[in-house]
A = this chain, B = another copy of it.
């Protein structure tokens, strides 16, 4: 079984490949001949993930999946959410995004937040999605050098370290994206390809 992971992030592809048995072959966008930018204009994670997956399925005729991730902060009514990557505008900058979030939360005592990843999957005519959620809180200053995005200011529930202080393996085990990938992998491997 061959399935395309509709992302240009080779690190993500390697991670999913490592979690799947050899009978499921993951191919990249480049390998199916897609070198164009995927549309991603929705106002929800779901919308964006399905938009990318459907684009690839319709134009290239291959089964595929695509992901989208957002950080949802309770006292900001779920923002930045689907706009997490471009919270502080274009060009995208982790540094400016984190600065803006800290600014918008300054003086606010409720620091609850969650990361959420949606993976939209299209298999033949069927559409599914898998989500992983990591609850936690936003701290007041950056800590840690690993990871990316909002990782330095996010402390997952039940832990003292930020995502940016965890090894990748440990982060994958408890992270939103790790859980969504896990659910996807369980689903794909339980089908008898």
Binding site for B on A (CB under 8 A): 44, 46, 50, 116, 118, 125-135, 157-158, 174, 179-180, 183, 186-187, 189-191
Q: Report how far A125 CA is from B132 CA in the complex, Å.
A: 12
The listed residue (B133, B135, B157, B190) touching A186 by CB distance below 8 A is B190
Residues A191 and B186 in contact in the complex (CB < 8 Å), given A127-B133, A129-B130: yes
> In the complex, A50→B74 CA distance in Å?
14
Pairwise interchain contact A130-B130, C-beta atoms closer than 8 A: yes
Main secondary structure of the interface of A (DSSP, over half): mixed
Are A127 and B179 touching (Cβ within 8 A)?
yes
- Report chain B residues within 8 Å CB of A50: 133
Shortest Cβ distance from residue A116 to the other chain B in the assembled complex, whole angstroms:
8
Show 28 A/B contacts (Cβ-Cβ < 8 Å), sorted by A: A44-B44, A46-B116, A46-B131, A50-B133, A125-B158, A126-B174, A126-B179, A127-B132, A127-B133, A127-B134, A127-B135, A127-B179, A128-B132, A128-B133, A128-B179, A128-B180, A128-B183, A129-B130, A129-B132, A129-B133, A130-B130, A130-B131, A131-B131, A183-B183, A183-B187, A186-B190, A187-B187, A190-B190
Q: Within the assembled complex, what's the spacing in Å between the Cα atoms of A125 and B189?
A: 24
